[in-house]
Structure 1
Amino acid sequence: MDIKIGDIVARKSYKCDLLFRVIDIKEKGDEREAILYGEDVRLIADAPCSDLVIIDEREQQERKKKEIELIEQSYKLFRQDYHAMKQKIEYRATGGYQTEKDFFQIPGRVLHLDGDPLYLRKCLDLYERIGVPVYGVYCEESEMPEKVGVLIEQFRPDILVITGHDSYSKSKGKVNDLKAYRHSKHFVQTVKEARKKVPHLDQLVIFAGACQSHFESLIRAGANFASSPARVNIHALDPVYIVSRISFTPFMETVNVWDVLRNTLTGEKGLGGVETKGVLRTGMPFRLIHDTGD
């Protein structure tokens, strides 16, 4: 079977559990080795082409259907939480519904750096669906540390997302060794550079990491939320659900870590964080400006 760049494949040695996109093929002696990006999880891997099987369109669609059902379930839970938060804000703004007051809300602005342009597009679509103001930037993981400072100055976000692909390799070191991870060191350095610009955890909320990332190092570097405590794979859209919850939580309230994680597709094994204030601002009066054509 001739494996080519762009093919959707699965690994026979892992019982074809995950779908991957072939992004590169390298010659290693008599063996061809493929570099793989997870289709639904933020995992980068390599595998001999002999271990890969091409997934046909029919099976891709079947798996995609199940994936969409999972995403819709998580989105539904998020919307339920959002409506509960909105009712609480309305109650407070109207003095317990005793007066009718027009008010407006300013959700937190997100700057999302992603090492995968296809994942970034998926995330931007979900941000738009939820209603979070966002600016997305495709940037290779190794280039993020040098670019993040300028981007923060340019866009002045309330929330920063630093993600892409990552993986842990047992052959390169122990679980606590940062050198054993594909991109964790780049994510850690990016967080440190961001904290040079905005040191306070509640003035710039940071999510950092991808599949199997070195969670402890990311938190120590200054991330509010990170992956992956149990070194498991995380879903491509998990950062969106985390920062959307923070974006719509009032700045006077503390975000409970479990409340944030329970609507993600991965849960507490893949994601964790520290208590963090929300960034939503409520104001009044609300006035609609009509275009009179003058």
Structure 2
Amino acid sequence: MIVNGDLVTRKSYQHDIIFRVKSADRPIVKLMGEHIRLEADAPYEDLEKVSGSEYHRRKQQVDEQEAYSYRLFRQDYRLLKEKRDAEAGNGYQTGTEAKYFQIPPRILHLDGDPLFLKKCIALYEQLGLQVHGQYLHEKEMPHRIMDLVEKVHPQIVVLTGHDSYSKAKGTTRELEAYRHSRYFVEAVRNIRRKYPNFDQLVIFAGACQSHFESIIKAGANFASSPARVNIHAIDPVYVAARIAYTSFMDHINIWEVIRNTISGEKGLGGVETKGLLRIGIPYSEEAEEIEGTEETGENQ
């Protein structure tokens, strides 16, 4: 018997993805991706429970992917830091150590999955970024986004959760064929009505198989999913982190951003955008308070 919270795969899809059962009501069961941002429905008879050994085998593969993505980001971060060190030291004599403080941007992350949000918050903290995290169903995002933006005053907004495309509802060009894409589109539009400058407030929006073109047209800097593929749970964090640690004097290399993600160019894309990090001189112990390195995360 399959009940809410069970881990299952779909027989008709050759057991390709592990899902959590959101609602086990028969005959159609609602599913949420365990490691990817995909929401789906499936007949009860099409589902098979995942054994503990199979889950741990696949979990190990996912952990290896995440570790590789994290290593890529750390490599890029070191290069960005070396560049900042060099620029900060230009005003000093040769041989003098350059010391500066930095002000990274504040991030607002809205997520339609509380478990994924918790995982993302942990990664933001690991990367040393300030974030206000909020669990919010995708349908609520267009209605509540502006209140949260006015409350948090972020420089980066991440709108993500679960999504999916259904051939039965239309072609890939039709927004109505997507489970939650229209809500991401509406939320982005609401932000851009007040914050039209793409470099003043940077937006990432979308989830698995989302209607990339509509989200970008609405005003997002980065979105998913150009090839209508599934994206990994933590991919939005790496996009936000690259923006956060790139100087506001520099344009972000879109390919370098996507390189750090697990999904790659089929899952993520974007438009030319400036970084949001600012550095200051001189450094002092009191300057640490300016940096505001304390991270916050809320799961409500």
TM over 0.5: yes
The CA distance in 2 between the partners of 1:210 and 1:164, in whole Å, is: 6
Give structure 1 stretches of 5+ with no counterpart: none
Question: 1:227-242, aligned counterparts within 5 Å?
Answer: 227-242=224-239
Matched, 1:8 2:7: yes
The CA distance in 1 between the partners of 2:127 and 2:11, in whole Å, is: 37
Measured against aligned partners, the alpha-carbon deviations of 1:111-136 in whole angstroms (never above 9, x if no partner) come to: 00000000000111111111111110
Moved over 4 A (4+): none
Q: Using the TM superposition, give the Cα deviation of residue 108 of structure 1 relative to its aligned residue in structure 2, in angstroms.
A: 1.6
The CA distance in 1 between the partners of 2:17 and 2:98, in whole Å, is: 51
- Tell me which of 109, 115, 118 is aligned to 2:115: 118
Measured against aligned partners, the alpha-carbon deviations of 1:192-241 in whole angstroms (never above 9, x if no partner) come to: 01112211100000000000000000000000000000001011110001
- Tell me which of 63, 68, 77 is aligned to 1:68: 63
Secondary structure at 2:25's aligned position in 1?
strand
Q: Which residue of 2 aligns with 1:84?
A: 79
Q: State the one-letter code of the partner of 1:23.
A: K
Question: 1:163-178, aligned counterparts within 5 Å?
Answer: 163-178=160-175
The CA distance in 2 between the partners of 1:289 and 1:189, in whole Å, is: 42
Matched, 1:142 2:134: no
The CA distance in 1 between the partners of 2:129 and 2:57, in whole Å, is: 30
Question: 1:173-188, aligned counterparts within 5 Å?
Answer: 173-188=170-185
Q: Which residue of 1 aligns with 2:38?
A: 43
Measured against aligned partners, the alpha-carbon deviations of 1:223-275 in whole angstroms (never above 9, x if no partner) come to: 00000000010111100011100000000000011010011000000100001
The CA distance in 1 between the partners of 2:16 and 2:98, in whole Å, is: 53
Q: Which residue of 2 aligns with 1:257?
A: 254
Q: Quote the sequence identity (%).
A: 56
Secondary structure at 2:133's aligned position in 1?
strand
- Matched-pair contact (CA < 8 Å) for 2:111–2:137: yes
Matched, 1:198 2:173: no
Q: Structure with the greater relative contact order (CA < 8 A, sep ≥ 6): 1 or 2? A: 2
- Matched-pair contact (CA < 8 Å) for 2:5–2:22: yes
Q: State the one-letter code of the partner of 2:208.
A: C
Q: Which residue of 1 aligns with 2:298?
A: none
The alignment of Structure 1 onto Structure 2 pairs a total of residues equal to: 285
Measured against aligned partners, the alpha-carbon deviations of 1:38-80 in whole angstroms (never above 9, x if no partner) come to: 0111000000111111002221111111111110011001000
- Matched-pair contact (CA < 8 Å) for 1:149–1:197: no
Secondary structure at 1:149's aligned position in 2?
helix
The CA distance in 2 between the partners of 1:104 and 1:149, in whole Å, is: 31
Compute the TM-score of the two structures, normalised by the length of structure 2. Answer: 0.93
Q: Using the TM superposition, give the Cα deviation of residue 168 of structure 1 relative to its aligned residue in structure 2, in angstroms.
A: 0.4
The CA distance in 2 between the partners of 1:124 and 1:49, in whole Å, is: 33
